[in-house]
Amino acid sequence: MSDCPYETALLTHWAAGSDSAADSAHDLAHIRRVWANCQHIAKGENAPVDLDLLHAAAIFHDLVNLAKDAPNRAEASRLSAKAAAPLARACGFPEAKIPALKHAITAHSFSANMHPKTLEAKILQDADRLDALGAIGLARMLMVSGALARPLYDPQDPMAERRPPDDTAFALDHFQSKLFTLANTMQTATARQIAEERTNYMRAYLARLKGEINEG
């Protein structure tokens, strides 16, 4: 168990019920990377940030995690926010900050399509999206696609150059459907810089992959 009361509460909650991480791309390692991203962004923005609120939000943001292909996937962050409130209270989190905590958790999700209103919510949204980019993002995308039994690419058009990308059908289509759009959604300058560098890495990877496919 971790010395962090929020993390301990998270693990206890996951162990007690059916809200445990629905896939290995949204496990405790992901939670810890998002919190590390939050701290890096907060430092880079050089603005007043409620780090305790941000910490709780980062730890609890995937408290209820639904599978990527679940019909109610867009509800995951709202359900996480609702479930986080009593756990945060039990950890001594101030009641007055519960609404801000719930907003940050709800707004972090890409599927929820909600604009973050506070700096903490903006940082959490950016931190979570950064974990979908770069080498770690590439690995997570392949893990999820493999678990969903999706083919790596369309043999007739691997890079979706002559058809609309469909990431429900082919793993590589997720680059165009979502991943390559994330840098432009970043709320903070610090995260945007990191996102652009990670996106360039993924573009280079995809170009190399295209070359290897064409060599076959």
Query: What would the pLDDT profile of 30-80 be if each residue is shown by its tens digit?
Result: 999 999 999 999 999 988 999 999 999 999 999 887 766 666 666 888 999
Say yes or no: 146 and 100 in one domain. no
Per the CB < 8 A criterion, the answer to whether 28 and 65 are in contact is: no
Q: Is 54 exposed, middle or buried (0-12, 13-18, 19+ CB in 10 A)?
A: buried
Section 14-43 average pLDDT: 84
Task: Look at residue 102 and tell me if it is in a domain.
Answer: yes
Task: Look at residue 160 and tell me if it is in a domain.
Answer: yes
Give the domain-ending residue among 115, 147, 167. 115
Say yes or no: 90 and 144 in one domain. no
Nearest by Cα to 57 from 8, 107, 19, 23: 107
Say yes or no: 155 and 93 in one domain. no
Say yes or no: 48 and 16 in one domain. yes
Say yes or no: 92 and 182 in one domain. no
Task: Look at residue 122 and tell me if it is in a domain.
Answer: no
Task: Look at residue 120 and tell me if it is in a domain.
Answer: no
Section 132-147 average pLDDT: 94
Residue 143 has pLDDT above 50, yes or no: yes
Section 163-181 average pLDDT: 95
Percent of the chain surpassing pLDDT 90? 75
Sign of the torsion angle spanned by Cα atoms 189, 59, 167, 78: negative
Q: Cα–Cα distance between 145 and 154 in angstroms, integer?
A: 14
Residue 146 has pLDDT above 70, yes or no: yes
Say yes or no: 30 and 75 in one domain. yes
Say yes or no: 88 and 146 in one domain. no
Nearest by Cα to 62 from 25, 8, 99: 25
Say yes or no: 3 and 53 in one domain. yes
Q: The whole model's pTM is what?
A: 0.91
Per the CB < 8 A criterion, the answer to whether 154 and 138 are in contact is: no
Instruction: Name the more confident of 98 and 71.
Output: 98
Per-residue pLDDT reduced to its tens digit, 33-45: 999 999 999 999 9
Say yes or no: 3 and 109 in one domain. yes
191 membership: H or E segment, kind and range: helix 189-215
Task: Look at residue 125 and tell me if it is in a domain.
Answer: no
> Domain limits at 208?
132-216
Domain count of the chain? 2
Q: Cα–Cα distance between 210 and 31 in angstroms, integer?
A: 32
Task: Look at residue 127 and tell me if it is in a domain.
Answer: no
Say yes or no: 82 and 180 in one domain. no
Q: Is 180 exposed, middle or buried (0-12, 13-18, 19+ CB in 10 A)?
A: middle
Task: Look at residue 196 and tell me if it is in a domain.
Answer: yes
Say yes or no: 168 and 94 in one domain. no
Residue 178 has pLDDT above 80, yes or no: yes
Task: Look at residue 121 and tell me if it is in a domain.
Answer: no
Q: Cα–Cα distance between 78 and 109 in angstroms, integer?
A: 9
Q: Which two tokens stand for residue 12?
A: 């206890």
Instruction: Name the more confident of 100 and 214.
Output: 100
Report the length, in residues, of the chain.
Answer: 216
* DSSP 3-state of 163: coil
Say yes or no: 98 and 137 in one domain. no
